[in-house]
Amino acid sequence: MDPFAAELKGGRIYGRGACDMKGGLAASIIAVEAYLEMNPEHAGAIEISGTVDEESGGYGGVAYLAEKGIMAKPRIDHVIIPEPLNKDRVCLGHRGVWWAEIETKGHIAHGSMPFDGDCAVRHMAAVMARMERDLFPALARKRTAMPVVPEGAKQSTLNINSIHGGESEAFEGLPAPLVPDSCRMIIDRRFLIEEDLQTVKQEIYALLDGLKDERAQFDYAVRDLFEVIPTLTDAHAPVVDAVANAIERVLHKPATMVVSPGTYDQKHIDRIGQLQDCIAYGPGILTLAHQPDEYVEVQDMVDSAKVMATALHHLLYGIAT
């Protein structure tokens, strides 16, 4: 399947990104089209922005629009980002993130004489062992008062995204007979609103400095890749009330207030655009995001479109329909 394509099967839309944004974007377009047909002389302005770059930081999309004053106060009053948080949930914000590259350094030598070199991969193995022994248990003990979903994301988390070490193949199908002098690990640290970013970074530096004191020839470097501070919209903000009221009217059940385990473009609308009346809402099952078989139920898209249209009327006129 084309990674950017979607496919309809038995009342579900399948495809990479179907759960992430495609379903929500489609629902928002249908909501606005239906609303305009029923209310052609509506008050105020309605805008849909289909931006790119959210997965890689959003700096070329929403951040750019916010910097230009397009998606910012005073031009915009309310924002709904159609992230897949389930159709009966209002997402108030997200955790923080720090992406970084850790490099352990060694000394190259012939593979038949490893005693003449210093293996950077073995040093990285020591880093991972120390993470397992000390850091992961410490992170599991940190808990947040934010209503983060799913339950496991109420704690601080660390994901090892990738590890690269050693030389590429010397010949087709054969390894290079060398002691690796560099090994690089990419970490994805998600942190809570109760945590400070500098403290989060210091945990890693303290672990590495401890190994430097203990291991002969241990040396390292850390390179920052990306960082985001947690954000949280007030639970009684106008856009929250509008969408929560619409969920109850359309789905006949109370809305659940949640916080996302990952980050999304709310950070730019909040910090750059200075617009705090922003939430995420849309169809899709959160735990299916980035899965190979992610999908969105068509009925969920229909229900979410009804919720968005109802909330839109509330925001334009200050009343619930």
CATH of the domain at 299: 3.40.630.10
Same-domain status, 213 and 277: no
Tell me how many domains the chain contains: 2
Residue range 154-161: mean pLDDT, rounded: 98
Same-domain status, 176 and 294: no
Categorize the per-residue pLDDT at 167 as very low, low, confident or very high, splitting at 50, 70 and 90: confident
pLDDT of residue 235: 96
Taking only the tens place, the pLDDT of each residue in 255-291 is 999 999 999 999 999 999 999 999 999 999 888 877 7
> Which residues, 6+ apart, have CB-to-CB distance to 50 below 8 Å?
25
Categorize the per-residue pLDDT at 1 as very low, low, confident or very high, splitting at 50, 70 and 90: very low
The answer as to whether 281 is a domain residue is yes
C-alpha–C-alpha distance, residues 114 and 177, integer Å: 10
Residue 255 contacts residue 89 (beta carbons within 8 Å): yes
> Which residues, 6+ apart, have CB-to-CB distance to 297 below 8 Å?
11, 12, 283
Same-domain status, 106 and 210: yes
The answer as to whether 1 is a domain residue is no
Residue range 27-48: mean pLDDT, rounded: 94
C-alpha–C-alpha distance, residues 8 and 10, integer Å: 7
pTM over 0.85: yes
**Does 12 or 6 have the greater pLDDT score?**
12
Same-domain status, 146 and 198: yes
Categorize the per-residue pLDDT at 48 as very low, low, confident or very high, splitting at 50, 70 and 90: very high
Residue range 183-198: mean pLDDT, rounded: 98
Taking only the tens place, the pLDDT of each residue in 92-137 is 999 999 999 999 999 999 999 999 999 999 999 999 999 999 999 9
Same-domain status, 298 and 184: no
Which of 228, 247, 282 is at the close of a domain? 228
Parallel/antiparallel/unpaired status of strands 219-228 and 256-260: unpaired
- Identify the domain containing residue 165 by its residue range: 96-228
Write down the mean pLDDT value for the chain.
91
Whether the per-residue pLDDT at 223 is higher than 50: the answer is: yes
Same-domain status, 221 and 109: yes
Residue type, 200: V
Categorize the per-residue pLDDT at 173 as very low, low, confident or very high, splitting at 50, 70 and 90: confident
Whether the per-residue pLDDT at 18 is higher than 70: the answer is: no
C-alpha–C-alpha distance, residues 247 and 267, integer Å: 24
Whether the per-residue pLDDT at 55 is higher than 90: the answer is: no
Residue 228 contacts residue 139 (beta carbons within 8 Å): no
